[in-house]
């Protein structure tokens, strides 16, 4: 972010005391409190939707959010002299969720359930076409696409004469996981997922879209939910799957922890049986393997970081734990 960004602050009705750089952002201390200025590549319409969503959540006592702020002329997106777009959001200081703290994770799950309970029926659309822009990805289609990409990487590596240790390890494990991925996609297709997803979209149920430990902050007793730019209409258990997968990869897929974390969510919003089935299938899909393969394929294949091999080994070693976790928790 360049210094021109600070000029856009003149477009807001704020008395600025000081600014300082963060990672890809500016923090702005003002007479009205703390704000965060960041570049933005989305549309004005989407930010208006986010503003509508977060304004609706404002009265909730359990958490705060990074509500986007309108400029003097009423728009959310402002531009500097080089036509770079920015948004300004309310900011609250706090520490990130510690993924190894059971108490933190339980609070995050509770906060997610409260968010899901209130994040519905807020967005309205003129017609089906305008609504489709805000729909999340169909999981069956996503799984099938990613399985094809896993096969593509397998084919690419097979053709190489000289293979790295990572490439050899990938070829060794991929047949098992390709078979598993195909089974999971088919089970998802035959489950009640499609109807459940359609009902969620038509019912206006909103997902955060990027609910990870990095986007949940703790400030004394309050949670602060941030970075809603990926919010969309979808089956809300998709948020749970993303958050749990990230946490359990670090925790080692311990069954008792999974039960405890899910209980924290269900105290607020009990899940339907079909939602639990979708969650189980989503967590069973070899997502981490696809991420490693995708990263490998789209970066410099002549030099593969050693940590990628370690991540692959960790994923494979955790497979039985993950299977046991899914079988027992769901």
pLDDT attached to residue 7: 83
pLDDT attached to residue 221: 74
Decide: residue 72, CB within 10 A, 0-12 exposed, 13-18 middle, 19+ buried.
exposed
Mean pLDDT, residues 83-94 taken together: 93
* Whether the Cβ atoms of residue 178 and residue 147 lie closer than 8 Å to each other: yes
What is the DSSP track for 121-149? S----SSHHHHHTTB---HHHHHHHHHHH
Segment (H or E) for 206: strand 206-207
Mean pLDDT, residues 219-245 taken together: 94
Count of C-beta atoms within a 10 Å radius of residue 305: 13
Domains in the chain with CATH codes: 4-93 (3.30.200.20), 102-329 (3.90.1200.10)
* Whether the Cβ atoms of residue 151 and residue 181 lie closer than 8 Å to each other: no
Interacting residues of 103 by C-beta distance below 8 A, sequence separation 6+: none
Find the DSSP H helices in 27-72: 44-57
pLDDT attached to residue 2: 59
Mean pLDDT, residues 42-52 taken together: 92
Mean pLDDT, residues 42-61 taken together: 92
* Whether the Cβ atoms of residue 115 and residue 225 lie closer than 8 Å to each other: yes
Mean pLDDT, residues 4-20 taken together: 87
pLDDT attached to residue 103: 95
Token pair recorded at residue 203: 């019912």
pLDDT attached to residue 81: 87
Cα(281)–Cα(192) distance, integer angstroms: 12
Mean pLDDT, residues 53-76 taken together: 93
Instruction: Tell me the pTM.
Output: 0.92
State pLDDT tens for residues 117-168.
999 999 999 889 999 999 999 999 999 999 999 999 999 999 999 999 999 9
Cα(227)–Cα(211) distance, integer angstroms: 9
Token pair recorded at residue 251: 């925790």
Specify the higher pLDDT residue, 44 or 4: 44
Q: Coil, helix or strand for 78?
A: strand
Cα(229)–Cα(265) distance, integer angstroms: 23
State pLDDT tens for residues 265-282.
999 999 999 999 999 999
Of 108, 106, 115, give the one whose Cα is nearest residue 205.
115
What is the DSSP track for 249-262? HHHT--HHHHHHHH
Cα(319)–Cα(179) distance, integer angstroms: 14
Length of the chain: 330
Q: With 80 as the cut, is the pLDDT of residue 25 above it?
A: yes
Q: What percentage of the chain exceeds 70 in pLDDT?
A: 98
Cα(61)–Cα(49) distance, integer angstroms: 22
């Amino acid at each position: 972010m360049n210094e021109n960004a600070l000029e856009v602050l003149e477009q807001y009705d704020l008395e600025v005391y000081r600014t300082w750089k963060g990672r890809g952002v500016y923090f702005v201390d003002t007479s009205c409190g703390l704000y965060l200025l960041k570049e933005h590549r989305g549309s004005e319409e989407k930010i208006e939707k986010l503003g509508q969503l977060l304004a609706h959540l404002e009265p909730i006592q359990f958490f705060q959010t990074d509500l986007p702020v309108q400029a003097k002329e009423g728009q959310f997106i402002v531009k500097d002299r080089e036509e770079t777009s920015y948004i300004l959001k309310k900011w609250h200081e706090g520490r990130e969720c510690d993924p190894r703290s059971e108490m933190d994770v339980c609070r995050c799950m509770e906060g997610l359930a409260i968010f899901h309970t209130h994040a519905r029926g807020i967005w309205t659309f003129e017609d089906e076409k305008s609504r489709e822009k805000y729909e999340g990805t169909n999981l069956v289609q996503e799984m099938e696409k990613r399985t094809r990409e896993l096969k593509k990487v397998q084919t690419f590596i097979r053709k190489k004469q000289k293979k790295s240790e990572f490439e050899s390890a990938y070829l060794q494990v991929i047949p098992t996981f390709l078979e598993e991925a195909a089974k999971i996609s088919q089970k998802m297709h035959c489950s009640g997922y499609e109807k459940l997803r359609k009902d969620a979209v038509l019912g206006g149920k909103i997902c955060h879209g990027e609910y990870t430990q990095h986007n949940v902050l703790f400030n004394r007793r309050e949670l602060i939910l941030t970075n809603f730019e990926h919010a969309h209409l979808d089956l809300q258990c998709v948020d749970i799957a993303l958050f749990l997968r990230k946490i359990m990869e670090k925790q080692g897929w311990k069954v008792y922890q999974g039960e405890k974390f899910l209980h924290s969510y269900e105290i607020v919003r009990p899940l339907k049986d079909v939602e639990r089935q979708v969650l189980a299938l989503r967590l069973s899909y070899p997502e981490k393997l696809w991420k490693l393969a995708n990263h490998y394929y789209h970066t410099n294949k002549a030099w593969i970081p050693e940590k990628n091999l370690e991540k692959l080994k960790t994923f494979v070693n955790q497979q039985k734990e993950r299977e046991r976790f899914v079988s027992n928790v769901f």
